[in-house]
Structure 1
């Protein structure tokens, strides 16, 4: 009973075969998925997916790449959606210093406001962090993110950064990159993360695992992530799946 904790099934890459993609995930043993709504366009389509499929849940927030587009009233919109029974987290939110689309100060302001909202509503947060490890940790500490915790999505940082996030109550999630031959650091971090804080994901349609790297990712491929994670941890596939699914259900408050 695999749990893909981070996917974008509403992405245009799935417009031709979305239902078939979801069916393939179920056939691969994926029992639950969290779809991520991260801006004005994807929040409504994420909510529609969550309302259509019993096994798809939603996280809603404002992505750092789109921070510059966040307007007055959008935070209240996110807050209003958090009362929906299928919304389980605020995210993905965070910092992205790779794509130069939103000024850093705007990203910081938008991130801080959403952490504040999460604390107010007692909702976990899903953190996107690209090339911003030091600032992410600093802001999470300053905004008391430990009061709600959450998930460090598609973790790419060092073990030192992972430890700081674990100390603040975060789970660490890994996706396709752990299957890459040259992904030394993610594999090393995965080997050290406490089992009760470990999650798996696809981030589909992005970050496709080996042997499909370079093609469109999909939720069914979380099985490949789980197989590699089990190998790295020296445990059976079934045990790894049982642990990560239990972690996800508890982290997101899903019965």
Structure 2
């Protein structure tokens, strides 16, 4: 693994997990601001060392979009929408009795069974899809069990069956929502909202100042859901996939 290199213009690092899982040398280049021609030429030379590069164009900068489109065969695989909700002042949502929060949750196959995510760059990119992209979120969840830095909010119905979960973690002053899902068998709404409010309460008790979460631009349901809960959009980042096969 190469040491992560952070520069003013670009943050570039190997994707170790992706390399092992997909069986292709993978890296990520985060474009932090509009690149100069010299910076772009320097970055392109690094692309040659990898079979797959995820290029994240922060804030969808037009200058970078033009450079990527003119000089590479990369395609737009995703537009990631980032939200933040500030946690301010006395905060006490009524937490439903059927919601519990767990740290270092043991493996729970009900959680895995509920995880059915319609929108995913891992399945919408054909090259990733044929390399097991449909199992990425399942692996994400499995890797999150029994980890002290991972937290699950779980919702159960009146029969004690799991009907929703929210995986989250903490980074500095932020509570980061990683994955949220509600069982497709549920006919009544409100489970997602209850899970979010329970996590918001937990984050406030831990002294966090904000909740952060991202979703895909095509996922209108999730975007409307986070707006309804008082989240504000703070980012709109293009994700391009470049293949050297």
* TM-score scaled by length of structure 2: 0.28
Question: TM-score normalized by structure 1?
Answer: 0.28
Asked which structure has the greater CA Rg, the reply is 2
Higher share of residues assigned strand: 2
**Larger RCO (CA within 8 A; separation ≥ 6):** 2
